[in-house]
Amino acid sequence: MVKGNGAAMLNARAFMKDVKKYEPEIIKIRRDVHENPELAYKEFRTSKLVADRLRGLGIKATSGVGGTGVVGLLEGGKEGRVVALRADMDALPIQENADVEFRSKVDNAMHACGHDTHVSMLLGAAMLLAGRRDELAGTVKFLFQPAEEHGGRGGAKPMIEDGAMKNPKVDYVFGLHIMNGAPAGTFALRPGAMMAAPDSFKVRIVGRGGHGSEPHKTVDPIFVSAQVINSLQGVSSRLTDQTQPLVISVCSIHAGSKDNIIPDEALLEGTIRTLDEKTRASAKRHVVRVAKTVCRAFGASCELSFMEDAYPVTVNDPKVTAKVFKVLKTIEGTKTTVYRPVMGGEDFSRFLHQAPGTFYFLGTDNPKKGCIYPNHSSRFKVDEDVLKYGSVSLAALAAEFGAQNL
C-alpha cells in the first residue's frame, strides 16, 4: 500500500459525479435480487451474485462466512483505517402483492424490508470505491450478511464468529437501511440508542379442560390467558420507569378446538421491545413474575421462555454519528435529519459491539410513486431514485473514516 498523508481525498461530491454511470446497474441488480428472494440462511444465489460482482471489480471476496455471508476486501492506495460496510441479504416469508414488473418469482418469499436494495446499494458503493482505489485511504470491508430477519442467532453473530471483523481488524462499521417512514431521499439517524432489543417470549398456560357449560369444574386457560394479556400491559404502565420506552405485545394466542370444549392449555407468544439494557432486564423479570402470579391466582400454572440470543439494543456511537451526520449533509439532492428511536430490532447491533459506528436510514416514502406501504407489508415498494444516494453515502463514509481519525 502506498503511504499517504492521511487527509481525506475523496468526498460525496466526487462520488455523486461517478454514480451516474453506475446507477442503471445498481437498479438492475436490485430488481434481479428482488425477483429471486431467498429466506434466512438460504441466500445461496444472492451470495454467489455478490461474490461474482465483487471479484469482477477486482475486490477479494470470501464466501461462506457465517454460513452464506460474503466478505469483500478492498485495499486503498493510501494508508488508513479499516472501515466495514454492511448489507443484509435475506427476504421475508410474505407473498408479494406489490404492483411492480419485477415481482418475486418465489412463492411466499418477498423482499418486503428492502434487503434487495441494501445488496445493490453496497455493490454500488463497491463500484464507486473500486473506481477510485488509488485515491482511497485505508481498507474497506464489505459485509454481505445473511439471516437478519431470523430474530435470534441471526447472521451477524455467525459472521463475527467466523472472523469477519478481524484480519484486518475493523476500526469503524456502518450499516444502511431503507425505510418508508421518511420521505424519499432523507437520511435519518441519531446518536445513542437507534433501534430496540427485540425479546420474543412464549407463555404456556396449563389449566384443566372440560365442558363449556360447566366452567366452574375447569381451570380455563383461555380465560386465564386474557387476564395475563391485560396484566402484562401493567408492566410498562405501572412497574417500569415511564421515561424509558417499553413495548410489550402479545401477538399470538393458540388454544381450543371447538366451541363447547374448554381446553387444557393455551399458548401465548409475544415480544418485548426496549432501548436500554437495564429496562430490558427489568421488563423480562416483571413479565415472568406477572404471568406466573396471575396464573397461580386462577389455579393454573405457566411455563415462560424467552428466545435465546435475541439481538441487543442498536447503539450508535455519539462521536462517530456526529461525523456521519456532517458527511451525509454534503450529499446533493438529499436531506439529513435527527430521527426518533425505532422499536424494531436489528442484528447490526452485534457489529456495533465489535467496533464504533452508526446505523442509519434512507427514506423511500413517495406517494406519487405508490411508495407508501411500510416495511414488512406485502405491498412494500421502493423509490429506486434513492438507491444512488445510498451507494454514495456508504462510499463517502468509507473514504472519510478510512482517511481520518476522529
Structural domain spans, the chain: 12-191+317-403, 196-306
12-191+317-403 under CATH 3.40.630.10, yes or no? yes
Mean predicted confidence (pLDDT) in 119-128 = 98
Name the catalytic one among 96, 346, 384, 400: 384
384: annotated active-site residue: yes
Q: Give the pLDDT score at 92.
A: 98
Mean predicted confidence (pLDDT) in 220-244 = 95
Tens digits of residue pLDDT in 169-206? 999 999 999 999 899 999 999 999 999 999 999 999 99
User: Which CATH architecture describes the domain 196-306?
Assistant: 2-Layer Sandwich (3.30)
Nearest Cα residue to 282 out of 315, 245, 314: 245
Name the catalytic one among 38, 148, 149, 311: 311
In DSSP notation, 178-242 reads EEEEEETTEEEE-SEEEEEEEEEEEEEEE-B-EETT-GGGSB-HHHHHHHHHHHHHHIIIIIS-T
Calculate what percentage of the chain has a pLDDT beyond 90.
94
Question: Are 207 and 218 in contact, with CB atoms under 8 Å apart?
Answer: yes
Residue 28 pLDDT > 70, yes or no? yes
* Topology match between the domains 12-191+317-403 and 196-306: no
Q: Give the pLDDT score at 152.
A: 84
Tens digits of residue pLDDT in 329-378? 999 999 999 999 999 999 999 999 999 999 999 999 999 999 999 999 99
Query: Alpha carbon of 130 to those of 80, 81, 140, 244, 331: distances in Å?
Result: 16, 16, 10, 44, 19
360: annotated active-site residue: no
Sort 343 into a burial class: Cβ within 10 Å, 0-12 / 13-18 / 19+. Answer: middle
Residue 3 pLDDT > 70, yes or no? no
